[in-house]
Chains A and B, each alone.
Chain A
C-alpha cells in the first residue's frame, strides 16, 4: 500500500527552529516534495529531494534518507507568516504523486 505519515499539528515560537518529519512507504519512489499551504489557498512548492542528504534553501532545509523512508523539513528563524500546513508528497513516477495529510504549524509570538 501507499502510506505517508507526518504529525497532524505542531506549535513553535517565533524566531525558533522547527523540524517536521515525514515517513513514507510507497510502491515506487522517484523523489520527495515539500509544499506549503496556507488556509484556503493552493499548495506552493518548497523543495524536491531526489538524493539522500540535506538541501538548504534560505530559511528552509529538507533532508532525505531513502533507505529509511524518511524526510524532514527544517524551518529556521520562524516567522508568523510560516503558520501554514506543510505537505510531504512522494513522486512515485508515471505522473503519480502521493500526498500526506499535512502538518499544521502554528507559530506563536
Chain B
C-alpha cells in the first residue's frame, strides 16, 4: 500500500496566527514530499518540494518565510502557514513518493484552511 495522512483535515484560525499542517507517509518511506495548494475548480499548484534532511525547494512566487516546510524524517513533513491572512484560505494537499520510485505521487486527503 501507499497511504498518506494529513492532519488536521480542517482548520479555522484567526488572521495573524500560525497554522501547522502535518503530512505523514504511513506505510512507506518518503524521501521526497510535495506541498500543493488548490483553489476551487482549479488545478493543483505546486508550492514546494520537500526533501528529508535538507531545505525545501520553493516554486517561484511562493514565500518561503510565510510557508515554512520541515521534513525532519522519512515519514513526516510539516507545512506551517505563518501569520495567516484570509487570502491564505485554501485547500492544501501533500503528496509523497516512495524512496527510489519517484514517478508516482501518493496524495494525502488534504487540509482545508479557513482564515477569518
Contact = CB atoms under 8 A, between A and B. Distances in A.
Given A45-B104, A48-B104, A101-B43, A95 B97 contact: yes
Contact of A42 (B41, B42, B49, B109): B109
Interface in B66-85: none
Nearest to B32: A95
**At the interface, is chain B mostly helix, strand, loop or mixed?**
strand
Contacts of A45: 104-106
A33 B44 contact: no
A43 to B, nearest CB: 5
Contacts, number: 41
Interface string A54-92: 000000000000000000000000000000000100010
Given A100-B43, A101-B42, 6 more contacts: A33-B104, A41-B109, A42-B107, A45-B105, A45-B106, A91-B103
Interface of B: 32, 34, 41-44, 46, 49, 91, 93, 95, 97, 102-110, 112
26 contacts: A30-B103, A33-B104, A35-B107, A40-B110, A42-B93, A42-B95, A42-B107, A42-B108, A42-B110, A43-B44, A43-B93, A43-B107, A45-B104, A45-B106, A48-B104, A87-B43, A87-B44, A95-B32, A95-B34, A95-B49, A95-B97, A95-B102, A97-B105, A99-B43, A100-B43, A102-B43
